[in-house]
Amino acid sequence: MSESATGADQVVPPRTTWLRLRPHVTGWMFALPFVVVFAVFLAIPIVASFVLSFTNFGIANIQDWFSADVIGIDNYTQLFDDEKFLKAARNTAVFVLFGVPLTIVLGLVAAVGVNQALGRVVALFRVGYYLPVVTSIVAIAVVWRYLLAPETGLINLALDVVGIPGPNWLGQRSTALGSIVALGVWRNLGFDMVIFLAALQGINPTLYEAARVDGANAWHIFRRITVPLLRPAILFLTVITTAGYLQLFEEPFVMTGGGPLDSTLSVSMYVYQQGFSFLNLGYASAVAYALFVAIIVLAAIQFRLLRSDDTA
Amino acid sequence: MTTLESPRQLPPIVPFDTRPASAFASRWWIYALLTVGLLAMMGPFLWMLLGSLKTQRELLQVPPTWLPENPTTANYTRLFDRLDFPRYFWNSTLIAVMITLSNLVFCSMMGYALAKLRFFGRDKLLLLVLGTMLIPGSVTLVPLFVLMSKLGLVDNIFAVILPAAAGPVGVFLMRQFMLSIPDELLEAGRVDGASEFFLFRKVVIPLSAPALAALAILTFLPAWNALLWPLVVLTSEENFTLPVALAIFARGQFAADYGLLMAGAVVLVVPVIVLFLLLQRHFIQSQAMSGIKG
């Protein structure tokens, strides 16, 4: 180390370089805490999962990661012969196909209704419809299982009064998945309602006035003014509701455990089963990636379809 | 991305409407429908509360009683005396509070860097963060577990806290909000010689209070309600959170003990409902701001 002032001048970078670097250092200092958490617990696991999906990684490899064998795309080809996976995929598709339109339509109906209401009750309706969205699925499952119980459940007792014998909703294959769809819709429609309410309140009321002056009835106004103006909200909700519903896990997990006879098994539940019950961690990763691809593809298709309607 | 931003702002709720009273009368059927809907949405919560105060015998009675005949707190006593619910409640609170605090710090710092600082790699970083927002949780489930076993954190509450300590949704929310803070304000501070950290603490954070409130709700809620990951990674009873404990009891020895389970559900839900009623506007706005479900 040189003690002389001239020597130090040569070691320390010129002042201008430091001035040039400083904003970058500051920026990264602000970014660093997030970047570390993001990298270690999200980005690296995402890549690791992709790598795992091409191996036969099992519980035996958990301490020595590199002892697993690379088996190429075998995990992915196996998906097409795996009847349990195909069943889970079909169940998930049914949940999305019925659940998404029902949630959006009922959310829209609720929003239009609440938007028409006057006075303080509006707040009550908003809170009430939104309550299931913020509630733990475990708590919801406890009360809904009691409501749907075959003999003592309130729903079947009500059906009894009108003379309809209520089924064992969650216990038989014909009604279990339908019950899960209904529960999903009940739980999520408040979210869609809130988004629609915000969009509805952004519509200029003079448009309605003008239409009414022109003699349009309520249905026409709804169909020709409200719905077209809500298109961005509809697109947004379709994409994120579909992405969310494709990841169906909690409802069947707590209500039925995937049964009876896998009739409510979802793809995400199958990832969990393969990973943590059968300990096929490599195969579980392949299932998860297949789901990821489905989510991206569907989101892209929805963007295309709903966007192009704008210009039509 | 424009569609993600569109439902950001909610107009204020108008407590008193100026429309004529006749409109109120002619729309009675809308109120009737909305009330039926409200009953369907809130009925289960009421049923849960009432059920938690009934005895097992009364719960299985046909026809059922509406109000508890002999209201009893026995179910709650069992939760707190015979089972370890105070412990689960503490675990849940600790985990949710730590996750919320770390998100507030990390996401606001990162949001500030992305919105207001210029540094090498910033735009790529932003794209990377946004790109992970659609990735399903089940993709990281397996590698996270492998990682936690390697780190020796399985059955440790930090295994629940760390992966949730910061998330892309929070960064996106903070960045979007901070973009609206005028640059001139920060430039003025810089000219006066204030450090970036000082500006962040004394100017940006106070101005970002609404976004921070939204972020706090948005991270507390899923942290409090989280089921899957804690269930995977917490194995011994003393580390259980409320949802994990309740889910395990509901499938195991207490599967038919409706009174106990509903009391547990009330304990799990009441803190959220209290927060929700206190911060109602913030809650709904936070969901609209992020555009992502909690």
CA angle A155, A158, A164 (to 5 degrees): 100
Residue B272 tokens read as 């959220």
Cβ-nearest to B142 among A118, A138, A284: A284
Q: How confident is the model at residue A121 (pLDDT cuts 50, 70, 90)?
A: confident
Q: Has residue A62 got a pLDDT over 90?
A: no
What number of other Cβ atoms are within 10 A of residue A163's Cβ?
A: 6
Same domain, A143 and A236: yes
- The percent of residues above 90 in pLDDT, for chain A, comes to 55
Q: How confident is the model at residue B288 (pLDDT cuts 50, 70, 90)?
A: low
CB contact B124 to A (< 8 Å): no
Residue B136 tokens read as 């399903």
- B278 or B219, higher pLDDT: B219
> Which phi and psi angles does A70 have, rounded to 5°?
-80, 125
Same domain, B68 and B179: no
What mean pLDDT comes out for the span A57-80? 85
CB contact B248 to A (< 8 Å): no
Same domain, B56 and B169: no
Distance between start and end Cα atoms, chain B: 19
Give the C-alpha separation, B105 to B123, whole Å: 21
Predicted confidence at residue A13, as pLDDT, reads 55
CB contact A208 to B (< 8 Å): no
DSSP letter, residue B42: H
Same domain, A40 and A149: no
Q: How confident is the model at residue A308 (pLDDT cuts 50, 70, 90)?
A: low
Q: Has residue A162 got a pLDDT over 80?
A: yes
Same domain, A30 and A148: no
Predicted confidence at residue B2, as pLDDT, reads 36
CB contact B274 to A (< 8 Å): no
Contact between B219 and B164 (Cβ < 8 Å): yes
- State whether A243 and B165 contact (CB < 8 Å): no
Same domain, B210 and B156: yes
Predicted confidence at residue A9, as pLDDT, reads 47
What mean pLDDT comes out for the span A101-123? 90
- A65 domain-assigned: no
Contact between A200 and A112 (Cβ < 8 Å): yes
Contact between A225 and A207 (Cβ < 8 Å): yes
Q: Has residue B154 got a pLDDT over 50?
A: yes
Stated as kind and residue range, the H or E segment containing A66 is none
Cβ-nearest to B268 among A136, A186, A195: A136
Cβ-nearest to B136 among A191, A198, A291: A291
What mean pLDDT comes out for the span B248-262? 87
Predicted confidence at residue B170, as pLDDT, reads 92
* Exposure string for A48-80, b = 16+ CB within 10 A, e = fewer: bbbebbbbbbeeebbeeeeebeeeeeebeeebe
- State whether B4 and A236 contact (CB < 8 Å): yes
- B19 domain-assigned: no
- B11 domain-assigned: no
Give the C-alpha separation, A2 to A11, whole Å: 9
Residue A251 tokens read as 């409802």
- State whether A285 and B143 contact (CB < 8 Å): yes
Cβ-nearest to B23 among A63, A118, A137: A118
- The reply to whether omega before A260 is within 30° of 0 (cis) is yes
Q: Has residue B123 got a pLDDT over 70?
A: yes
Contact between A287 and A274 (Cβ < 8 Å): yes
Q: Say how many domains are in chain A.
A: 2
Q: Has residue B20 got a pLDDT over 70?
A: no
Give the C-alpha separation, A59 to A278, whole Å: 9
Residue B155 tokens read as 């059955």
User: Which of B10, B40, B72 is the C-terminal boundary of a domain?
Assistant: B72
Same domain, A128 and A275: yes
Same domain, B173 and B45: no
Which position has the token pair 């039926």?
B36
**Per-residue DSSP letters for B136-203?**
-HHHHHHHHHHHHHHHT-TTSHHHHHGGGSS-HHHHHHHHHHHTTS-HHHHHHHHHTT--HHHHIIII
Q: Which residue of A has its CA nearest to B201?
A: A30
Which of A:95-134 have CB within 8 Å of B? 110, 113-114, 116-134
- Overall size of chain A counted in residues: 312
Same domain, A92 and A208: yes
Cβ-nearest to A235 among B3, B149, B268: B3
Residue A147: which CATH number? 1.10.3720.10
Residues of chain B with Cβ-Cβ distance to A246 below 8 Å are 136
Give the C-alpha separation, B271 to A135, whole Å: 10
- The percent of residues above 70 in pLDDT, for chain A, comes to 94
Q: Has residue A2 got a pLDDT over 60?
A: no
Which residue segment(s) compose the domain that A267 sits in?
A: 77-311
- B22 domain-assigned: no
Q: Has residue A160 got a pLDDT over 50?
A: yes
Cβ-nearest to A232 among B3, B113, B287: B3
CB contact B256 to A (< 8 Å): no
Residue A259 tokens read as 């049964």
Same domain, B37 and B123: no
Same domain, A22 and A120: no
Distance between start and end Cα atoms, chain A: 74
What are B168-217's pLDDT values in tens digits? Answer: 989 999 999 999 899 999 999 999 988 999 999 999 999 999 899 989 98
Same domain, A14 and A86: no
Of A239-243, B108-112, B208-212, B286-290, least confident by mean pLDDT is: B286-290
What are A240-286's pLDDT values in tens digits? Answer: 899 999 999 999 998 998 879 999 999 999 999 999 999 999 999 99
Q: Has residue A5 got a pLDDT over 80?
A: no
Q: Has residue B293 got a pLDDT over 50?
A: no
- B8 domain-assigned: no
Give the C-alpha separation, B85 to B196, whole Å: 45
- State whether A124 and B24 contact (CB < 8 Å): no
What mean pLDDT comes out for the span B148-155? 93
Q: Which residue of B has its CA nearest to A52?
A: B143
How far is A36 from chain B, CA to nearest CA, in Å? 10
Same domain, A188 and A44: no
- A66 domain-assigned: no
User: Which of B46, B72, B98 is the C-terminal boundary of a domain?
Assistant: B72
User: Which of A16, A36, A52 is the C-terminal boundary of a domain?
Assistant: A52
Same domain, B52 and B195: no
Same domain, B170 and B57: no
Same domain, A162 and A87: yes
Same domain, B66 and B89: no
Mean pLDDT (chain A) is 88
How many helices (H) does chain B have, and how many strands (E)?
A: 18, 0
Would you call A1 helix, strand, or coil by DSSP? coil
Of A111-125, B85-99, B118-132, least confident by mean pLDDT is: A111-125
- B2 domain-assigned: no
Give the C-alpha separation, A56 to A285, whole Å: 10
CB contact B59 to A (< 8 Å): yes
- B120 domain-assigned: yes
Same domain, B281 and B177: yes
Q: Where are the alpha helices (DSSP H) in chain B?
A: 2-5, 21-26, 28-52, 56-59, 74-77, 85-116, 122-131, 137-151, 157-161, 168-178, 183-191, 196-199, 205-207, 209-225, 228-233, 242-251, 258-278, 280-290
Same domain, A116 and A20: no
Residue A104 tokens read as 């959006």
Q: Has residue A182 got a pLDDT over 60?
A: yes
- A149 domain-assigned: yes
Same domain, B237 and B283: yes
- B256 or A246, higher pLDDT: A246
Q: Among A51-55, B64-68, B96-100, B184-188, name the most confident range.
A: B96-100
Which residue segment(s) compose the domain that B43 sits in?
A: 28-72
Same domain, B231 and B263: yes
What mean pLDDT comes out for the span B58-65? 82
Q: Which residue of A has its CA nearest to B111?
A: A31
- A69 domain-assigned: no
Predicted confidence at residue A65, as pLDDT, reads 78
Of A101-105, B16-20, B252-256, least confident by mean pLDDT is: B16-20
- Shortest CA distance to B44 belongs to which of A132, A249, A109, A166? A132
Of A6-10, A141-145, A286-290, least confident by mean pLDDT is: A6-10
Would you call A70 helix, strand, or coil by DSSP? strand
- State whether A123 and B135 contact (CB < 8 Å): no
DSSP letter, residue A217: -
> Which phi and psi angles does B13 have, rounded to 5°?
-75, 130
* Exposure string for A190-220, b = 16+ CB within 10 A, e = fewer: bbbbbbbbbbbbbeeeeebeebeeeebeeee
Where does A6-52 show beta strands of DSSP type E? none
Q: How confident is the model at residue B281 (pLDDT cuts 50, 70, 90)?
A: confident
Same domain, A20 and A83: no
Same domain, A44 and A167: no
Predicted confidence at residue A12, as pLDDT, reads 53
Which of B:183-202 have CB within 8 Å of A? 196, 200
- A271 domain-assigned: yes
* Exposure string for A82-106, b = 16+ CB within 10 A, e = fewer: beebebbbebbebbbebbbebbbeb
User: Which of A37, A52, A67 is the C-terminal boundary of a domain?
Assistant: A52
Predicted confidence at residue A290, as pLDDT, reads 95
Query: Structure pTM?
Result: 0.86
Tell which phi-psi region holds residue B57, choosing left (phi > 0), alpha (psi between -120 and 50) or beta.
Answer: alpha
Q: How confident is the model at residue A131 (pLDDT cuts 50, 70, 90)?
A: very high
Q: How far is CA B98 from CA A30, A152, B164, B170, B269, in A?
A: 20, 41, 10, 15, 19
Q: Say how many domains are in chain B.
A: 2
Predicted confidence at residue A227, as pLDDT, reads 92
- A152 or A214, higher pLDDT: A214
